[in-house]
Amino acid sequence: MKVNRRLLPVKAHFFFFMSAMGPVLPFLPVFGKQLGVSEVVMGVITSVLPVLFLIAKPVFGFILDTFQSARKIIFLLLLCTTNVFFVLLVFIPVPDSNVVKIDTCSGLHVCSNQSSYNLVEEECWSICNKTEIQQNISYSDSDCQVICKINTDNVTYSADTEFYKGFSFWSYVILMSLGSIGFNVINSVSDAICFDMLGNGAEKKYGMQRVWGTFGFGFAALIGGYAIDLWSKKSVIKDYSPAFLFAFGCMLFDLICCLKLKLPPLPRSENILSDMGFLVRKPNIAVFLIFTVLVGICDSFIIYYLFWFLEDLAKECDMMDNIKLLEGLTIAAETLGAEVLFFMYSGKILEVLGYGHCLTLCFLAYGIRLGLLSMLINPWLVLPIELIMQGPTYALCYTTIVAYASAVSPPGTSATTQGLVAGLDDGLGYALGSLSGGYLYKTIGGNNALKVYSGIAIVCSLSHAVLYPLLREKPNTSGTSVEYKSPESAGRTVIVAS
């Protein structure tokens, strides 16, 4: 098997960049939950963030297309600053309003000079674990004067208002926002750079490059989740520092790999905004962009609330001891199972089915996946679902969207086009999905919210199956020669002559 050495830095970048994100991104919502952020507030945060993605991605894409000689420098600066923002999150203190001493914890009483303790409420925990307490092992008051975390879903704090005005909350919001914006911009720029290096007509080879990011993300998330549980074994307040430090090391390796990138010269667009305006006015492109937003809506609940749902389910089943390990295993199952196969063979699937039919099937797969998640009764049963369904949903859908965007982008606008499409997907789509998701989760619960999103995905699948054949661009039969790019001919210019 011949190795294309020119593309090795791209593969290495995807591997180490996604390895740096694996121990960070999946845990951001539950990290906020530990600080005391409620579902509704988290929904508001994660709905505003994607709007910023929608703005930032096309802007940075435009900058990179305009200042092509400085593409590499801008890219490296983005990598550095994003890493700094995420690492600073570990220094945010858990506010006092979310922890109390055992002697003031409802239902848990410290018995001075006695050999046993009365543990009544399941939400109250101490490092004097249940097994030892039940065995009547003696502890002094000082040994057990440790913090216990109250279940914030069932307890209202008088200090909530102060928390949302305080240092911890706003530090979390600002650092998570800046880091997430950086990650999303880097993601779309990385795709544009990958397609530039692949060259025109080779869009379907994208999956073979991106699959290395899947390997990195899966292994790193598993290591990060396990490290958090191991590091926090004797505390209910999870310490995320080992995962974030691991991410920092991976980002340093990524910077070294990116220094080796040799970006090819690209044609310049005379007027990027005019070219983009002409592109989005085409009916088939406009429909593609609308359904790109709907993909983001379907995907957003899994991104932002799956771990939240698993933690709530684990509490009901009294399975919180290894919850971070489960979350890490969930990411590993997603990324090291069917996602690998679908990234590797996405090019062949697209050649057989075409971009339009693939997108229809992806929506159907999202409907099935969300429906199965809604029926979970044990958090550990999430593993087989995510192992199988991540491939035909995220991997195939993501490849379909970015490859199609690259195929139809006018010359010299690759980064701008990728930024626009990515901004609509995990920008506007995530904003609408996360805002409605937070509200639905709070009002009807996680199970029912998943059923609602499952229904949305199935409706999108049926709608796209009807609209795609009707609006697919047809060859011009007016007697003049035209140039066009259709889903079937994407990646090459087709001349249709009378």
Q: 73-106 b/e with 16+ CB inside 10 Å = b?
A: eebeebbeebbebbbebbebeebebbbbebeebe
Task: Tell me what percent of the residues of the chain surpass a pLDDT of 90.
Answer: 10
Compare 148 and 374 and report the one with higher pLDDT.
Answer: 374
3-state SS, residue 265: coil
pLDDT of the residue at 262: 75
Is it the case that residue 9 has pLDDT exceeding 70?
A: yes
Write the burial class of residue 487 (CB in 10 Å: 0-12 exposed, 13-18 middle, 19+ buried).
buried
Each residue of 19-63: pLDDT tens digit?
A: 988 888 878 877 887 888 877 787 778 777 777 777 777 777 778
Note whether 221 and 326 are within 8 A (CB): no
The count of residues in the chain is 498
Query: What phi, psi does 132 have (nearest 5°)?
Result: -70, -35
Stretch 213-242: mean pLDDT = 79
pLDDT at 118 exceeding the cut of 60? no
Average pLDDT, the chain: 74
Q: If you average pLDDT over each of 63-77, 343-357, 362-376, which comes out highest? A: 362-376
* Residue 45 pLDDT: 80
Pick from 183-197, 251-265, 453-467 the range whose average pLDDT is largest.
453-467
pLDDT at position 125 over 50: no
pLDDT at res. 201: 67
Q: Do residues 306 and 369 make contact, with C-beta atoms less than 8 angstroms apart?
A: no
Backbone angles phi, psi at 377, to 5 degrees: -120, -10
- Residue with the bigger pLDDT between 160 and 372: it is 372
pLDDT level of residue 416 (50, 70, 90 thresholds) = confident
To the nearest 10°, the Cα dihedral for 179, 437, 161, 156? -130
Contact (Cβ atoms closer than 8 angstroms) between residue 484 and residue 474: no
At residue 475, the pLDDT reads: 44
The predicted pLDDT at position 234 comes to 60
What are 57's strand-pairing partners?
Answer: none
Query: Tell me: the pLDDT tens digits for 282-341?
Result: 777 888 888 988 998 888 888 878 888 888 888 888 777 778 788 878 888 888 888 888
Cα gap 292→326, rounded to integer Å: 30
Q: Contact at 8 Å (CB) between 301 and 456?
A: no
Looking at residue 385, its pLDDT comes to 93
Q: What Cα–Cα distance (Å) separates residue 215 from each residue in 21, 134, 235, 384, 449?
A: 12, 43, 31, 18, 30
Nearest alpha carbon to residue 207 among 327, 349, 324, 16: 349
When pLDDT is cut at 50, 70 and 90, the band that residue 94 belongs to is confident
Q: Which residue has the higher pLDDT, 453 or 123?
A: 453
Report the alpha-carbon distance of residue 224 to residue 52 in Å, rounded.
28
pLDDT for 473 equals: 60
Rounded-to-integer distance, Cα 261 and Cα 72, Å = 8
Instruction: List, in sequence order, every beta strand (DSSP E) within 302-374.
Output: none
Running DSSP on this structure, what letter comes out for residue 410?
Answer: P
pLDDT at 490: 40
- % of the chain at pLDDT higher than 70: 74
Judge whether 333 and 387 are in contact, CB under 8 Å.
Answer: yes
Q: Which pLDDT band, with edges at 50, 70 and 90, does 462 fall under? A: very high
Question: Residue 383 pLDDT > 90, yes or no?
Answer: yes
pLDDT for residue 368 is more than 90: yes
Q: Where do the domains of the chain lie, and which CATH numbers do they carry? A: 5-95+166-471 (1.20.1250.20), 96-160 (no CATH)
pLDDT the model gives residue 15: 92
- How far apart (Å, rounded) are the C-alpha atoms in residues 47 and 212? 29
pLDDT greater than 60 at residue 493? no
What pLDDT is stored for residue 441 in this prediction? Answer: 85
Residues 6+ apart with CB under 8 A from 442: 38, 39, 40, 43
User: What residues form DSSP beta bridges with 147?
Assistant: 101
CB atoms within 10 A of CB 201: 12
Select the more confidently predicted residue: 101 or 183.
183
Q: How far is CA 395 from the centre of its chain?
A: 12
* The predicted structure's pLDDT at residue 419: 73
pLDDT digits over 143-185, tens only?
333 333 333 333 333 346 677 877 888 889 899 888 888 888 8
